Amino acid sequence: MATVREVQQRLISLGYDVGPSGADGIPGRSTTKAVTRFQEDKKLSILYPGTIGPKTLTALGLNDNKPMAPPWVTEARRFIGLHEVKNAKVLDKALRLDASEIAWCGAFVSMVIATALPKEPMPANPLGSRNWLKFGKPLNDPQIGAIAVFWRGSKDGWQGHVGIVVGHDKTHLHILGGNQSDSVSIARIAKTRLLGYRWPVTYQDAPYAALSMTTISASVTTNEA
């Protein structure tokens, strides 16, 4: 499976500008522009220009027939371990808010989506986790990169949580998200709390095959306040 860094390195070798940071592994706007230009030069028929799928990877000579992780997952993983107090300077700058003062799970998802998919429409008030039920388009089942929205406290209330699916087991979803134990982490959240899955509209469709179950060593979170 090709990584963002490998795509960037290949683009640079072909003479494309991926930005001043070079092959940094970050799927930012400059990389998206470079991918778009490459697709145009190769006359690739891409539904959402700037996104990286099998056609683009093949044209780059990087397709090993293994799916590439959605770019917002790659971006989100860069922040794993950052704590809202211990790493406030870095985290607050990325989120453009004081993470210690508010529930910032929605801000985190918004930040990584905006970085990876700059043309993707955001829900009104992305800080409200349940507002992500209006993001993109619905999915019936979990997939890597799906945006998962949960209720918190009461299913009929207004509180919630939002994060990114990176796996699942029989009873829990494995969620990469912010404001999980006051940090960016991967946590297990009960499937019984799920309100819905969403998928970006400016990225290739989610895989049709069912996501295989996996086991991870991660804590279970029940209240992401």
What pLDDT score was predicted for residue 37? 95
Q: What is the pLDDT of residues 161-183, one digit of tens each?
A: 999 999 999 999 999 999 999 99
What pLDDT score was predicted for residue 41? 96
User: Quick check: 167 and 143 in contact, CB under 8 A?
Assistant: no
pLDDT beneath 50, residues of the chain: none
Domain boundaries, the chain: 4-60, 71-199
Q: Does the predicted TM-score (pTM) go above 0.85? A: no
| The residue count for the chain | 225
What pLDDT score was predicted for residue 1? 64
Q: Which homologous superfamily does the CATH classification assign to the domain defined by 71-199? A: endopeptidase domain like (from Nostoc punctiforme) (3.90.1720.10)
What pLDDT score was predicted for residue 170? 95
Q: What is the pLDDT of residues 42-64, one digit of tens each?
A: 999 988 899 888 889 999 998 77
